[in-house]
Amino acid sequence: MTTNEDVSGGKYRVGVVFWSKQDGIATVICDELTALGHKPVPFFYQSELPDNVDVIFSFGPYGPFEYLLSRLNALPRSKKPILTHWNTEGIPDLRIPWVVMFGAGLLRAWAERLRFSDGVGRKLVTGRMMKPLHKRMTRFLYFGSYYYAYRAGLMEVLADSSAVYADLHVRHGLPTVVAPWGATRRWYADLGYERDIDVLWMGKRGSKRRSMLLDMVRARLERYGVKMLVVDGEERPFIYDQERTEILNRSKITLNLTRTWYDDNYSRFALAAPNRSLIVSEPLLPHCPHFRPGEHYIAAPASELADQIMYYLAHEDERMAIVERAYQLMMSELSFEKSIAAIMTAVHEARLNPDVRSLKGKSVWWRKIVPA
């Protein structure tokens, strides 16, 4: 692998990680990179790293991020492309003291790296009894991997869909670009359908908390005579692409519930708002401050969500006014292209600043940790 040194105007060849063979988010990233004048080079994470790219663009992660790091770490320094990662996953509970969160994250990431090493440690963590642990503490895993990768000089640019998480990282010495979820042409269309679905839920139940809340809201709506279409991968298969756009075009209201109290769940906003479906949600942290409750969506405690849904089903003019404001916000300020552009601007700055790439080989564990 060799990087392309003849780059003009900050336009790059970008290897885009596909965590699955049909990766919808990676496909959209490729679309937006192309619109920005870059050359995306898609590759499946288990295949060979692409030749002659300037940047590796990862996201999620929806696969073994440490495996990607191990492969980049094996490259000669002169041939390593810049790595940028856009985090769209959650982090450990924000109430956990920083030193505990940080330490547990580094430990979990270290254990994950052993899986992809050639040493004795690999046998310790890949045995039959240890395999169930591979899917545990994933939020600590991602968290620790980012700090390790940055301090080891393996990852030059981190971005996050959450302004809350980005602020936490910046306060602790990890520069982070805020890149919120946005509208992209593959995910919306004005189909002119009749809105014959009152309430839509789409997505995994994901946690006991969210499953309980979903069942509670649904039961209360049914007592009012309102049915909710539940697309959770259990009752009905998940929906993607054109089918999802069609369902959203038929839905008056899209319900939003989080797995945990502090989660960034604004990806659902990026799907519902451009398709003019009103988002009714439990209260959220300001992960995406552009969205303001009462102006762009409705927020209410879980115990009041059914009543709020009934109100906006009965008051179409008010519902449509909020829907239109949310739609205009997505069209004018929150585009997927703008977020990818912000990430690539940071990549360009990292490429121009060799100091950013000089950390590899230095001690990771004794670098200064900024206190909370």
CATH classification of the domain holding 245: 3.40.50.2000
| Strand ranges (E), 75-226 | 82-87, 157-160, 176-178, 197-202
- Tell whether 343 is covered by a domain: yes
Is the pLDDT assigned to residue 243 strictly greater than 60? Answer: yes
Closest CA to 14 of 43, 55, 48: 55
Examine the domain organization and report whether 167 and 91 are in the same domain.
Answer: yes
- Which tokens go with 307? 């009543």
> Could you tell me the pLDDT band of residue 123, with boundaries at 50, 70 and 90?
low
pLDDT of residue 360: 41
Nearest partner of 313 among 193, 199, 150, judged by Cα:
199
**Are 191 and 267 part of one and the same domain?**
yes
For 15-66, the pLDDT digits (tens) are 999 999 999 999 999 999 999 999 999 999 999 999 999 999 999 999 999 9
Measure Cα distances from 134 to 87, 126, 128 in Å.
Answer: 20, 9, 11
Taken in order 216, 218, 224, 225, the sign of the CA dihedral is negative
Rounded mean pLDDT of the chain?
91
Distances (CA, A) of 247 to 14, 192, 200: 33, 12, 8
pLDDT score, position 124:
62
Query: Percent of the chain beyond pLDDT 90?
Result: 83
Give a yes or no: residue 362 inside a domain. no
Residue whose entry in the numeric block shows the structure tokens 């052993």: 114
Give the pLDDT of residue 129. 54
Rounded-to-integer distance, Cα 199 and Cα 218, Å: 9
- Residue 217 is part of which domain span? 185-332
Residue 285 forms part of a structural domain: yes
Query: What does the pLDDT read at residue 78?
Result: 87
Query: Residue 275 is which amino acid?
Result: N
The pLDDT of residue 4 is 47
pLDDT-based confidence at 136, cuts 50/70/90? confident
Confidence label for 260 from pLDDT (cuts 50, 70 and 90): very high
What CATH number is given to the structural domain containing 166?
3.40.50
Q: Give the mean pLDDT of 320-348.
A: 97
Residue 131: what pLDDT? 60
- Please indicate, yes or no, if residue 369 is contained in any of the structural domains: no
Q: What is the mean pLDDT of residues 242-266?
A: 96
Please name the amino acid found at residue 63: G
Per-residue pLDDT at 138: 94
pLDDT digit string (tens) for 61-97? 999 999 999 999 999 988 999 999 999 999 999 999 9
Average pLDDT, integer, range 275-292: 98
Are both 95 and 196 inside the same structural domain?
Answer: no
Shared-domain flag, residues 165 and 21: yes
Residues constituting the chain = 372
Q: Would residue 264 count as lying in a domain?
A: yes
Same domain, 20 and 129: yes
Residues 138 and 240 in one domain: no
Residue 199 sits in the same domain as residue 322: yes
- Predicted confidence at residue 132, as pLDDT, reads 63
Give 281's strand partners.
Answer: 256, 299
Residues 92 and 66: their CA atoms lie apart, in Å, by: 18
Q: Are residues 164 and 304 in the same domain?
A: no
**Same domain membership, residue 165 and residue 61:** yes
Predicted pLDDT of residue 331: 96
- Say how far apart CA 258 and CA 207 lie, in whole Å: 9
pLDDT score recorded for residue 353: 83
> Is 156 found in the same domain as 23?
yes
Q: Give a yes or no: residue 1 inside a domain.
A: no
Asked, for residue 244, whether it belongs to a domain, the answer is yes
Per cent of the chain over pLDDT 70 is: 88
Note whether residue 75 is domain-resident.
yes
Q: Which of 116-120, 297-301, 314-318 has the lowest mean pLDDT?
A: 116-120
Structural domain count, the chain: 2
* Domain shared by 149 and 228, yes or no: no
**Which pLDDT belongs to residue 284?**
97
Q: How confident is the model at residue 134 (pLDDT cuts 50, 70, 90)?
A: low
| Alpha-carbon span 300 to 277, nearest angstrom | 17
pLDDT value for 135: 72
* Token pair listed for 12: 């790059």
One domain, residues 44 and 116: yes
Kindly tell me if the per-residue pLDDT of 364 is higher than 90.
Answer: no
